[in-house]
Chain A
Amino acid sequence: MGRWRTDTEDWLRAEQEGPEEVADAAFAQVFTALPTLQPSPAFVARTVEAAWEARARRRQVAGLAAAAAVLAAVATTVVLYAVFGARVGWLLTTIAAVASGSVLSLLGAALTAAEWWKATVAAGSTAVAAGSTAIAALAGPYSVAALAVVELVAAAALYLLHRLLQSDAAVRSPRAFCF
């Protein structure tokens, strides 16, 4: 009787009679009889190459998404200014101030906003003013076209961000890295 049969019989007895630890150790010995597989010689090089390619792709998508987001922000700002003009000037100034971190500009924008608010209230209801401004602006074909462009740019930015977040899912397809 060879050592493998002896080991196996020891394990089977341990499973029936022995404590868990003995059965565990005996089975560990028997388990070494199982054939083990060796990966193909090119496996390591192929895998590392795939990992680096995936990283480059993630960075590319991140760059595109950032560019699209900036583009969308710029387009939105331009369209807002074109459609609403000076009425949102204070808002754009505020955004610019926050973005640049300038406290003085922020205070200036706050003062401008306060003045605009005072003027609007003096002219009548703020809601009515805003509503009529929006309706008047949206009624024009150029405004509609401009808003559609903004929405398209924003949708593209969102799609690219989605691609970025799902980049791991793209990597999941094992066939994607077969050479």
Chain B
Amino acid sequence: MTPSDAELVRQALAGSQAAYRTLVARYAAAAVNMAARLVHDRAVAEELAQDAFVRAFARLATYDPDRRFSAWFFRVLHNVVVDYMRRRRVETVSLDALQAEGYPGPAEAASSPEDELERRALGSALGAALSRLRAEYREVIVLRYQQGLTVEEIAGVLKLPEGTVKTFLHRARKELAAMLEAAGWKPRDR
């Protein structure tokens, strides 16, 4: 049986390195992806994700097992990324540029070559649009659609009112829609 996050946290607090390793492995990809979406640099994203896990471990005792670990952890990661962005000016580069540098993409399910081509084109357009969004909008989009957090959890992570998160999500999607339409994804008349 797969141990829950709360159980792994309990074991890690008791000194189990294996438990924390499992927890890190469980959220490593999510953490790196979220950081990469915000800082646009794979190496820095990995360092920030690592820093977040180290910081989370130091504060593991403050985690409330009644809440989702991901929401608590993303709050830590958010703080690490914000600290980094305050220290440095982060350039806006599409994530596709990371893959051009040899960064491996996702393991794709088998699909037709046409579908795969279309997915890549859409991913490229969406990635470019996302990188042009305001950082606040980009973060709520990533937390909602990449990490699957609820509006309430995002509000907890970003320390914003739920209404503000809903507004950010709505406006961010509208801006993305406008950018994708401008990039040639405008819906055709039925």
Contacts and interface: CB of A to CB of B under 8 A. Distances in A.
Interface in A37-56: 37-40, 43-48, 50-52, 54-55
A58 B58 contact: yes
Interface stretch (A5-13, A83-91, A121-129): A5-13
Interface stretch (B3-11, B66-74, B102-110, B157-165): B102-110
A33 B32 contact: no
Given A30-B122, A48-B20, A48-B24, A36 B33 contact: yes
Interface string B108-128: 000010110011011100110
B118 A4 contact: yes
Interface in B167-190: 169-170, 173-174, 176-177, 180-181, 185-188
A20 B170 contact: yes
Given A2-B114, A4-B118, A15-B173, A34 B188 contact: no
Interface in A153-179: 167-168, 171-175, 177-178
B5 to A, nearest CB: 16
Say what secondary structure dominates the interface of chain B.
Answer: helix
Given A15-B173, A40-B46, A35 B105 contact: yes
A172 B83 contact: yes
Contact of A174 (B44, B99, B112, B181): B44
Interface string A13-35: 10110001001100110110111
Contacts of B96: 35
A2 B21 CA distance: 41
A99 B181 CA distance: 74
Contacts of B95: 34-35, 37
Nearest to A169: B83
Contacts of B80: 172, 174
A24 B186 CA distance: 18
A8 B54 contact: no
A30 B29 contact: no
B126 to A, nearest CB: 6
B29 A31 contact: no
Given A12-B177, A43-B28, A51-B57, A174 B48 contact: yes
B28 A28 contact: no
A47 B99 CA distance: 23
A2 B20 contact: no
Contacts of B92: none
B103 A37 contact: yes
B21 A172 contact: no
Contact of A38 (B29, B170, B180): B29
Interface of A: 2-5, 8-9, 11-13, 15-16, 20, 23-24, 27-28, 30-31, 33-40, 43-48, 50-52, 54-55, 58, 167-168, 171-175, 177-178
User: Which 4 A-B pairs have CB atoms at the shortest separation, nearest pair first?
Assistant: A174-B47, A9-B187, A51-B57, A31-B145
Interface of B: 17, 20-21, 24-25, 28-29, 31-33, 36, 42, 44-51, 53-55, 57-58, 80, 83-84, 95-96, 98-99, 103-106, 112, 114-115, 118-119, 121-123, 126-127, 130, 141, 145-146, 169-170, 173-174, 176-177, 180-181, 185-188
